[in-house]
Structure 1
Amino acid sequence: MMKERCGAWSRGKLLLGALLAIAAALLAMVWGFAMQNVRRPRLGPPAAFPDHLFMPFAARNDQGQTIRAWYASGTPGLGTMLLCHGHGVDHTNLAAMVDFLRRFGCALLLLDFRAHGASDGEYTSIGLYEWADLRGVLDEARARGFLATGTALAAYGRSMGAATLINGAARLPEIQAFILESPFAELRLIGGRDFARLTGLPDSFLTDVGFHLISWWTGIPYLDNRPVAATAGFGERPVLLIHDTLDPRATRADHDRLKAAIPQARELIVPGASHVQAHQVASTTFETTVIGFLRDVGFPLP
């Protein structure tokens, strides 16, 4: 009897040890997955970019971080477009948008968000606080004479850049019109989708554990990143929402929630496009819709 009890106890300890090892492995995987997405993410090399067109400059955000930015002048009397890149890339990822908008004579203003590209910062808030980077860049651009008083200013953002514009709309009153491609409604939801897609594990409490861990480590409340709750910041300013139908990250449900929360928003649905690929897949439709939207809202174009 004693031997049987000892054997059962040993098997119990082995089982407990195995469960603890599995839990530790899962925790390590969640931690690694979460941290690689917030600690200066590196998801690809810079794209080819027409640097010769741009004047580089630097601004500071509310954290004292240096934010690198680039300005290209346009045809006098026309408007300026602010272009906001997504997560894990930098301003060079917007080269195709630069080529498109330069054909219409727009002045262009781009930046690398914190913890991306040439800008300072170790951690990204994935669109929650990056509006302060925009605030710093716009103020510096105005101080340098790039944005004269009365200059029409519109903004295009994709994914994290779109979320940044939504979260910061109330603090960026000089932006007169917004073009938002693949914005997410809540970071928690897109995080769960990414975790499931990239690990093969279902979205579960592990996603929440990951968010709580990185929030504890960085001091950034990632679960507060809910652009759908910040849409009142647009007021009555015009918005164009662009959804890519094959997007596994910012889904049609996200788009529909945001559309319902922004009554004045127009929409462009691009069949066959994946995340932030609308221009690549349907360039003519994309460009015609964007230019038509800008003209309709009074943005000066030729």
Structure 2
Amino acid sequence: MSSRFERFRHRLHEIIFEADTWAGRAFDVALLVLIGLSVVTVILESVPSFHHRYGLLFLRAEWFFTLIFSIEYVLRLLAVRRPLRYVFSFFGLVDLMALLPTYVSLFAVGGYELLAVRILRLMRVFRILKLGEYTSAAELLMYSLRESRAKIIVFFLFLLGLVITLGSLMYVIEGRTNGFESIPLSIYWAVITVTTVGYGDIVPSTALGKIIATLIMILGYAIIAVPTGIVTVSIARAAQRGVSTQACPNCSRQGHDPDARFCKYCGEKL
């Protein structure tokens, strides 16, 4: 009996978590369509005129999608040997957040009128994040981001130190009389200037302040290219080496090398 269940779980895992079989590809395409339709339903429901005319239809569609995704969620838990690891993984939490609002509305008094429940209902758009599970390009991007995380963290720490220094400098140069009322507010100005957003709610008035602001804006364009270059190099390396679509049957982690026979995270045989 246990061997039969193991075969069933192996087959289920192959269909749900992998995309190198006909059944796996068909499952992924069906989910892509359902996720797309459910997100469109959430968006259209937020339009007052549509909600007034087709509210009941939207409600029925929402329950249909919720039931389908609930079944998918249960099947995913059955397909892995360590269900709790999947539950607390990124996509496991995304799946849960996509299901939670509809079920919470059953138990909340005046459910659809409460602000908290309305916020939970907005979480249904997290379903769009599930699209990333079913594309090799998204897997390649996620793999590249993981490989680049140390460099990206160092870059952001450097950027954090830079905006704190520049914000403090502008606080000293401009002072409270010119709108730079505190160092945190000056740091806020440095962030929106370095990122080239420039809301214009705080602007330097002194000649020295304007010179420094100009240099910061020019520096901002150069800084933007740094994380882009880091990720691009990682993507190029990953594309040359290739990334497998196989997921570990034990921990459900992906991103293995094409010739990998064992999971590089838990050691389970692929």
Alignment TM-score > 0.5, same fold? no
Name which one, 1 or 2, has greater alpha-carbon Rg: 2
**What is the TM-score of this pair, normalised by structure 2?**
0.22
**What is the TM-score of this pair, normalised by structure 1?**
0.21
| Higher-strand-fraction structure | 1
